Structure formats: C-alpha cells, structure tokens
Amino acid sequence: MNPPSRKIIHCDCDCFYAAVEMRDDPALRDLPVAVGGRADQRGVVATCNYAARRFGVHSAMATSQALQRCPGLVVLPPAMEKYRIASRQILAIYRDYTELVEPLSLDEAYLDVTAAPHFQGSATLIAQEIRARIAATVGITASAGIAPNKFLAKIASDWNKPDGQFVIRPHEIDAFVAALPVRKLFGVGKVTAAKLQRLGVDTCADLRGWSQVKLLQHFGKFGERLYALCRGIDQREVSPHSERKSVSVEETYTPDVPDLAACAGHLRPLFESLQARVKRVGAERDIRKLYVKIRFADFRQTTAECVGTVLDQAQFDKLLETGFQRGRPPVRLLGVGVRLEEEEDSPQLGLFVSDGEHSTASGSGDN
C-alpha cells in the first residue's frame, strides 16, 4: 500500500525587502525600487520590486548595471532589523498551522500541513488564510505553492506570482513535470542546464528518456537526483531543525586587487575573521571541507576547495593560488569558508573543484 500523499506548502513573500520598504513609504509603490549596496562601492542588488524587473533588473546584479538599465531606479540600503521583525511575524503565522516549518530565508519557508486540522485538512485553504494574515498583519503580499513534495511546492509558489498561489495535485504531477524545462529542476544551474541542452535535453520529458546509468555517467551522483526529479519524485522531509551547512566570510574590494600577491595579503584578515566566526557558531568539530571563492573583475567566479577538518592558513593559500589561475585578474571579491557536510547534489570532482555554477548573493533573491 502506498503511503498517504503529503501536503506541502511553500510560502514565499513577494520582493520581500522592497515590499517592506514600499509598505513603510507608500510614495515608493509606483516607482522602480531596489534594495542593495551603493553603485560607487561595488554594491549589488539584494532584491527589487516588479516595476524595476520590467527594466531587466534582478537580484545579484551589480547596482551600477541596474542603474544603467533603469536610470530612475530608487536604491535603498538594507534595513535588516526591520526585515527581521517582519520575518518573525511571518514565522509566527506559519507556526499557528503546523510545527513542521522549515525556514529557507527571512521570507520563505516550507510547511508540512499533512496532519493540520484546519479547514478539514485543505492545504489550499490553509495557504489562502496564511497569505491573507500576512497581508493584514505584516502589510506585504506572499505567494504560495501547494504540492505533495518540496520540489514541486517551490516551483508552484512561483507560478502565479505576485500575490497568488498554485496547486499541483497528485494526479497532475506526471503531466506537469513532463512539460517542465530542465532548468527548473532543483540543483540545475546555468552550467548543468547548458550541458543538458547540448545533449538535446530541454524538458523533463526529454530527460526521462535517459537511463539512470547514463545520467550517472554524465553527471555523477547528481544523476540520481535528476532521474528522480524529472519524474516528480522528491522524498525530502520538511525539517524544522535544519542544520548549518557552511560558514564563510567574504569582502568586495575597491579598487580591484591587481595580482596574486596582493590577494594573498588580503587572505590573512579574511582567514582570521573566518576563525572567529567558526568559533562563535561552535562549528570547529564539524568542518569537512575548506574553500576559497574568487570573483574576477569581469564577474566570472570560481571556487577552489579541498577536503579538510581544521582551519589551515597554508591550505587556504594553496586554494587561492589554484583558483586564481582559472581567471583573469584583477579580482573584485575574495571569500573563504568551510563546508560542514557533503552537498547531496554535487558530483565527486576530485580534490579541487570549480563551482562556477552556484554563486550566492546576500538578500532575499528574486521573489
């Protein structure tokens, strides 16, 4: 007998930081607004409202580039305490419906409402009420996706944005996923998507024609995940106690750092900051990998990493040299960090790997 289908909600606020700013200053509502760093300090956009997105502005874009695309863009500095207050209000609403809440950031979370008694167990009605309460209590809008697993719920929450929701029922999964572009699959970034396209794979229906053995040959361990996801299978549970996976520090430099020797000089204070942060969060015994992240002046990015269980300045120096050889100086950003557990989606690439596909930026992303 098959287990009963789960009811997962992915709730995601719409352009969270910008939404809070527009709530507090209604004069901003009809203007293109971004929250992020200053253009003259090499800042990036954390998030922006939909008026700005119509000009092609998006999160992780350099603020200077965003202003070129949208000269009338209003750029506001992040007010993190204000956003944290709103986040706490939103999480309190989620937890009125279930204890199984897995926050992903300040403004989004998974909720497992399979056993929730509200509305006779209707996840659709629960999501509607949550969104209405967020609007009434916090003063911003949220979108929601409802599905039998986390992968599909997250995709569904983006389907009717902003201020909407979308349901994928169990009997709809097969047809829905078959038509889905492979770039929508969890863990597929630009590099993997481009590789799949070169192999003639554009949709999940195309990918289903590949055997698991063939996917493993081309994509390593991640091939297993691709095989399952293109069939709509995701067994991950909603975890209210998600563990920290990494600790890192990074710095953007103005002007750019010209060469390897100068980068090495900047590495020491970064290493010392990382030591302090690792100690502060009590992660010394959980270190599994060390890595150095480099973003060059042309915005190309690479990450060099190696297996390691202790913080070692000499090892970080080697990683810096390895990563530096992959790009063209000067360098605009350096970062150092540790991974506390293996990434499930990453194929085994040997001692040193380049991870140009998985870049991150502070902020709430393209919500």
Alpha carbons within 13 A on the beta-carbon side of 17: 23
Query: How far apart, in whole angstroms, are the C-alpha atoms of residue 144 and residue 50?
Result: 17
pLDDT in tens, 304-363: 999 999 999 999 999 999 999 998 889 989 999 999 864 433 332 222 233 333 333 333
pLDDT: which is higher, 342 or 249: 249
Cα–Cα nearest to 82, from 16, 144, 134, 143:
16
Query: How far apart, in whole angstroms, are the C-alpha atoms of residue 331 and residue 27?
Result: 39
Query: How far apart, in whole angstroms, are the C-alpha atoms of residue 227 and residue 190?
Result: 18
Strands 331-339 and 289-296 come out as antiparallel
Burial class (CB in 10 A: 0-12, 13-18, 19+), 82: middle
Q: Do domains 1-168 and 246-339 have the same CATH topology?
A: no
Q: Verify whether residue 305 is a known catalytic residue.
A: no
Phi, psi of 346 (to 5 degrees): -90, 125
Give the domain ranges of the chain. Answer: 1-168, 174-229, 246-339
DSSP at 249: E
Residue 33: other Cβ atoms inside 10 A: 26
Just give the CATH number of 246-339: 3.30.1490.100
pLDDT at 254: 78
The distance of Cα 366 from the centroid of its chain, to the nearest Å, equals 9
pLDDT at 363: 34
Q: Which of 21, 108, 250, 305 is catalytic?
A: 108
pLDDT at 334: 94
Binding residues for Mg(2+): 12, 107
Angle of the 80-94 helix axis to the 123-137 helix axis, nearest 10: 140
Residue 167: other Cβ atoms inside 10 A: 18
Alpha carbons within 13 A on the beta-carbon side of 351: 5
Just give the CATH number of 1-168: 3.30.70.270
The yes-or-no verdict on residue 4 having pLDDT over 50 is: yes
pLDDT in tens, 185-241: 988 887 888 889 999 999 999 999 999 999 999 888 889 999 999 999 999 999 887
What residues have CB less than 8 Å from 285, skipping those under 6 apart? none
Just give the CATH number of 174-229: 1.10.150.20
Type of residue at 110: Y
The yes-or-no verdict on residue 155 having pLDDT over 70 is: yes
